Structure 1
Amino acid sequence: MDFRILGPLEVSDGGRAVALGGIKQRSLLAILLQNPNGIVSKDHLLAELWGDAPPATAENSIQVYVSRLRKELGPDRLTTRPPGYALRVDASELDLGKFKRLRAEGRPHEALALWRGPAYEDLAYEPCVQAERARLDELRLVTLEERIDDDLANGGHADLVGELEAVIAEHPLRERLRGQLMLALYRSARQAEALQAYRMARRELASELGLEPGGELRRLETAILQQDPALDPPAEVPTAGSLLVVPSSIERLDDLLALATSLAAPLVLACVVPANEVSAATSALAARARELPEARAAAFSSPEPGPDLARLAEREGCELILLQGAPLEGAARVVVETARCDVGVLTSAPRDGPVLVPFGAGRHDWAALELAARVARATGAPLRLIGAVTGRRGRDASRLLADASLIVQRRSGVVAEPVLARPGRRAVFEHARGAGLLVVGFPDRWREEGLGRVRDALVADPPAPTVFVRRGAAADAPAMTRFTWSLTGSAP
């Protein structure tokens, strides 16, 4: 039997929901669950259910509630024990017990997953559970802070900012949450916003409590101002994922391999061919695979190559699919739309020259920069980021590009050189003409909102070998800032 209090009060027996009756009967069960396996006196039940002035029928009502619950729970489960009653609950049957065990084992994510809402949510206005609700809400919040610490320690800073802002709105005086937000912002290359978060915390504490922030929060502000290396995100663990390399034909495989072999990952070579060519294509791919370290090969025919390639990538645990051709046509479009991993579509073989990324720090731009940094590190080519020279109120992207360069240096050891240019198509094309590879990110909502004028022009007539990158749904994709105007031609 399972007893669940972390949310609405529920009991199930072998998957069957147990009927718990009305508010008073459910409240009586809630009181017993606050003291599982212990004796709860009738006097305590009377006081908790009706306060200082119980009605004359109160004792009879308790007996009725106990009788009904006993029918549902079983006579051995709810027993009469002078001077009251006892509810037998094994440690593994109560979700609160499971929660405490998981938390003690250092598994806060799994512990928090047991919560379905505020504790005793269906009894929110009953006095008998108010103190327990407050205690459990505090326990849940502390565990959430522990889980956020875990996420920060594992490089999840960029994905935490929105969550922390929402939690702080509900709990504005918790300094630990404020510090976690400051650290998440700083590690996401948003130093100014991290300092603004400190100022907001200081104003809130002064306004509500007349207090200055505690020593830990003050020390964090100082460390941010000094750009203390101790605040840097943890070093990334190199991924063991492979790359699925899909040429448009066997003859064009070398174009893709010129890019794929620079990404330092095991390769899976695959080609979709007519049924009568599968054997020959497999032999040709296998021959090339033997020349490469850790490479495998397969050819197949398919009436739906796009979905089959997406499934193959997932089955093989691929981190990236590299295709050839136009990104919004044929099977490539289907893969771009459906694959859970990252997808790159290459227009032509890379050549000598710098690796160039039009960069506005959106989630999609970071995906492009990540791939570009890997290519630059492997080939020794310069890595350059194009940002807008002016924006609203005369701002430019130089600080943004500097922040991005620092992050790239921490992650891959590659220095990204800033290139300031006017927003729009013409500047990107001018700088790209001498590039060895142009790496362009697809915005997340490209299907609903389109690619934008600049990307449309790059798809139609790429000025250099170009790889269009789409961040996968399953990927961990930091969004460094909301400063995303470099490919649109206008400031937000």
Structure 2
Amino acid sequence: MEFRILGPLEVADGDAVVPLGGAKQRALLAILLLSANEVVSVDRLIDELWGERSPESGVTALQVRVSQLRKALGAGGELILTRAPGYVIRLEREQLDLYRFERLLGEADAAEPAVATAKLHEALALWRGLALSDLAYESFAQPAIGRLEELRLAALEKRIEADLALGRHAELVAELEALVTVHPLRERLRGHLMLALYRCGRQADALAAYQTARRALVEELGIEPSAPLRELEQAILCQDRSLDLAQPPAPERSLLVILLADAVAAGLLAVAAPLARRPVRELVLARLVDDRSDLSAATAALHDQRARLLADGIAARAAAFTSSDSAHDAVRMAAELECDLLLLDAPPELLDSPILAEILIGAPCDVGALVGGGPQPGPLLVPFVGAEHDWTAIELGAWLAREWRVPLRLAGPSLEDRDSSRLLASASLAVQRALGVAAEPLLLAPGADELVRASHDAALVVLGLSDRWRKEGLGTARGALARSPMSPLLLVRRGLRPGGLAPRESLTRFTWSLRPRSA
């Protein structure tokens, strides 16, 4: 059940709006919601509901209203509890739109402009008009309405500031001109309008906007503009370079997702998003299509996916391209973007395709190829025998397990000629020390069947690819896993960057043979 006060009071149960009954019941619910999860005393409830005209038996009248409200809420009536000295409504944070609004504001405060503006747009979209507008004439509601409206306007100013930082000044001018008409005394909005006009090349209009703001403040309040607004006017007069749009620093790292088919986007993004949450790591979505007629639909789908990523706090950009050689274009993009991981979809029929081979061999970065759908509930499984490519898989698997908060299992065969349990334990300890992720060693009987069975309930199987996989194949057990995956499978090949967790003895070495030079 969802409770909404950022607009007319409303309660929703799924898609249905719950009838709340008469005015007193609605007012009672509003009072409780404004102090959600806090006890509101009987005396305060009586005073705010009836004021000086409270009935002789105010306590009894209140009990009747509480009973009627509980009945109107149906199963949600259990949320209203009797707690001395009054009543409390117990809600989860996501049940009240005000709590969601405040959460999004907090997330925006700690985010870069691209993410912040998406969060603030989402927060402001929760508003359906003036808060508690259907109770605006109730004396108890008026202070709360004023406080909430101030919160909304502050969020709006922050959103505009983030949009200005992203270079959206031209599209903001009309909105700001309308806002300063409605809120003529808000200096922050006036300053945003002046800056937007200046960045549009309209210096004279920006200075005129300052004079308009000054007249409003002098005539209405008898005061001069504040120091920040006066300093902004001087900076505009001098064409101070600090007013120019700052170019954002290039991200130190990026993660490229190549979509060869729209149907796999959700699965790939479920893997990519956790890996893109690391600092200054940008997620780049690219959809390669071989028919120009598909380009507009692919572009629209990408923009929707990017909007969802931004709303989730992930810096992202997206573009769709026509490509007659998807493998070549994927490798080229990975090199030009200097990304450290390329993810792409790899349906089973693509495993033996030259397209996948060319990308895996040619891309300078780590490459992950997702076979099957997106991750499902369960632990994350990494087959491990101690080779360099297994450490690549562990590193990626550990990051995913940490972000998804699922168990990480390292599965290795029990072989007589070496201490397999010690190898798995050492790998588990390395993961714990390096990434703070507990990895459970899972010792299996040799053979493909055991590994396939172990993968049955996995959220994702991360399988490292040797540099020699094209010549030597995946091996019996891993090949069986790739050909008929019981769970989603991510094939990972290490690129040219230095190894992460891999111990020195697992890394590939070059050997040289010397012979005498002929005379």
TM-score (norm 1): 0.49
Structure scoring higher RCO (CA < 8 A, sep ≥ 6) equals 1
TM-score (norm 2): 0.46
